[in-house]
Amino acid sequence: MKRDLLIMFLLASLLVMTGCSQENIPGGDDGVEDAQTSYLAINLRPADESPTRAANGYEDGTDIENHVEKVRFYFFGAAGGIANVNITSSGGYVNYYDWTPGSSDKDPDYKDDPDNVDPGNQDPDNPGNGDTNNQDDIESKLTATIVINTAKGDKVPNMVAAVINPAGLPDESLPLTELKKKVADYASAAYTGEGTFVMFNSIYAGGDGNGNGAVVINQSGDKKNLWTTAKDAKEHPVTIYVERSVAKVRVTLGNEVAAAGTSMLALKDKEGNDLKVGAEQVYLKLEGWGLTADTSEGRLVKKINPGWTGTWWNSTHRSFWAINSMTATNRYHDYKNSIGSAIGTITVGEGGSTTTTPGAALYTNENAVANDYDPVTTGQAPNHTKVILKGKLCDHEGEPFTIVRHLGTHFADDYSETEADNLKELKKSILNQLSAKGYKYYTQDGSTRRQIDERDLKITIATKIESEDSKNNCYVYAQLTTEAEGKTWYTSLDGTTTADKDVINGNLKNNNIVDWALVWRGGMTYYYYEIKHLGDQIGVVRNHVYDTTVTKIAGLGTPVYDPEQIIYPEKPDPNDHFIAAQIMILSWRIVNSQNGLEW
């Protein structure tokens, strides 16, 4: 059985020629029998193909995102079972065929090919060169001849699915049900490199897609798209629309806040007043961005619910919403090591000229609908993917400094690795509040009894709750030092009634007695916002670019005390800062929306 494959990607044409020299070929599950050579032509096209693509804001992929190292075609019977089409070197059969392009596959004589049924696609300036790059969504055309050794017993397929750059897939037959179970961290480097950037059939409701993950090529035995000559097949091709398996996110600072990325931004509160600690104006230096609550894995085969209401989520050759992998989890990261991607900037110069400095892009797995549409399947990633920005709060000379908020007041303090010297101003404030609430403790120093003071306290981070918006994780409180716990404590200056160390620690920790504090240690801070999709939807969907522009930043952000602790995004309470972001979504296309987030 021969299969001639003609591939162009992104606008890819490919010919698969099937047949067995007049041998009787039984069908797959529900398959049909065919006593003659059959030919099948397949076009691979981008799911967002449009003749006015640039005008509509579509964005071409990079060379890495477009590179096709290999295409794996899986063939199925009508019910999705295995349809064996390829004999292996060991004599067994598999239901897939791998095609690998090479430099010799470019067809310099395509225009003169007698089987070419669309010579109008040729480049008029380069006749006969095989290049059809005459629209912005067309990359190149490749030609390959594929020979599949067959024997009596081949199955005529009813459906086909295409995996571009099938990294991580086993070299074994897979029915459609098993292919749908394949999940991986497609946003990782292993699946987003040159030649490993995974793409799959576009899944949508209606048409030949039917939301099932494969394209019908042979409906109910009518040999739809199966022809007795290569020429007929080329004139009646099957089209498979393909999408990248991940979304892409970019972050840019708009002109009003670009200084945070290029030098430093003078912060204001949300009322527009200069933000000062004491008499010192506070400035922000952003040091990078990342993703948080992103999902740990995505599906190879996108899953939709064809019963979703409305038309916003479905189009002719693609859909704009998705159901997560049910085993995906939300991932969270630390401040020190995991947030450092370059932020882009937009600056407006004299005369209104705009200069854009691009930042880094990050790939991310789908994170849209957390639960399956059956009533019993609950996903493990309940939270939406977010952009997180990390920075330092600085003085007018650009030097980061520690800021404390306690009892509603912000003040500067000094952080020290030596606990006796650490955050003395905060400790004094804590002890003043403790005393004002009627909790006074004394200890004996030699012949003198003294009241508890800052040397007896250490600063402790609140026990972490592995949950977003906990109103807990960003706070600190005081406890007795180990040395202080070994002392005897009294409840009065001259009395004999003692206070147990556990009682003292309990009162210090009780935020109904002593307010917990916020500490921007060394100025470390972060801001975050959810990524909006279409309309009121929040989420990320494969083959979209989420191009987010930060338009305004106000407030000090969420404090970081230990940069090596995992951050579960939260906003301090009461709210006193916010960030506004304008989000443009590309498919790799553009949709505009604005997003303002307040703390």
pLDDT in tens, the chain (599 residues): 333 333 333 323 333 433 332 222 233 444 434 444 566 666 666 776 554 444 455 787 888 998 888 889 898 988 899 988 887 888 788 999 887 765 443 334 433 344 433 333 333 333 333 332 222 222 333 333 333 333 444 567 788 888 989 999 999 999 999 999 999 999 999 999 999 999 998 898 875 545 677 777 655 445 556 666 666 666 667 777 888 999 999 999 999 999 999 999 999 998 899 999 999 999 999 999 999 999 999 999 999 998 898 888 988 788 999 999 999 999 999 999 999 999 999 999 888 889 999 999 999 999 999 999 887 889 999 999 999 999 999 999 999 999 999 999 999 999 999 999 999 999 999 999 999 999 999 999 988 999 999 999 999 999 999 999 999 999 999 999 999 999 999 999 998 999 999 999 999 999 999 999 999 999 999 999 999 998 789 999 999 999 999 999 999 999 999 999 999 999 987 655 566 766 655 556 544 334 443 44
d(C-alpha 564, C-alpha 233), whole Å:
60
Q: Kindly state whether residue 321 falls inside one of the protein's structural domains.
A: yes
- What is the residue range of 423's domain? 417-514
Which of 229, 244, 259 is where one domain is finished?
244
Residues 386 and 458 in one domain: no
Q: Kindly state whether residue 491 falls inside one of the protein's structural domains.
A: yes
Residues 444 and 552 in one domain: no
Q: Kindly state whether residue 564 falls inside one of the protein's structural domains.
A: yes
Residues 179 and 324 in one domain: no
Q: Kindly state whether residue 261 falls inside one of the protein's structural domains.
A: yes
Residues 53 and 142 in one domain: yes
Residues 438 and 587 in one domain: no
Nearest Cα to 437, choosing from 514, 366, 385?
A: 514
CATH code of residue 276? 2.60.40
Q: For residue 268, what pLDDT is reported?
A: 93
Give 283's strand partners. Answer: 266, 394
Which of 202, 223, 244 is where one domain is finished?
244
With beta carbons less than 8 A apart as the criterion, state whether 271 and 230 touch.
no
Residues 344 and 279 in one domain: yes
* Dihedral Cα 442, 444, 450, 453, nearest 10 deg: -70
Nearest Cα to 492, choosing from 429, 446, 438?
A: 438
Number of domains in the chain: 3
Residues 461 and 535 in one domain: no
* Dihedral Cα 523, 391, 577, 575, nearest 10 deg: -70
Q: For residue 534, what pLDDT is reported?
A: 84
Residues 206 and 97 in one domain: yes
Q: For residue 159, what pLDDT is reported?
A: 85
Give me the sign of the Cα torsion angle 231, 233, 239, 244.
negative
Which of 192, 220, 244 is where one domain is finished?
244
Residues 90 and 124 in one domain: yes
Tokens for 287? 């040091």
Q: Kindly state whether residue 239 falls inside one of the protein's structural domains.
A: yes
Q: For residue 59, what pLDDT is reported?
A: 80
Q: For residue 125, what pLDDT is reported?
A: 39
d(C-alpha 395, C-alpha 520), whole Å:
13
Q: Residue 454: is it exposed, middle or buried by C-beta count within 10 angstroms (0-12/13-18/19+)?
A: buried
Q: Kindly state whether residue 384 falls inside one of the protein's structural domains.
A: yes
Q: Kindly state whether residue 218 falls inside one of the protein's structural domains.
A: yes
Q: For residue 567, what pLDDT is reported?
A: 98
Residues 222 and 356 in one domain: no
Tokens for 270? 């949300």
Q: Kindly state whether residue 410 falls inside one of the protein's structural domains.
A: no
Residues 72 and 158 in one domain: yes
Tokens for 222? 């009518």
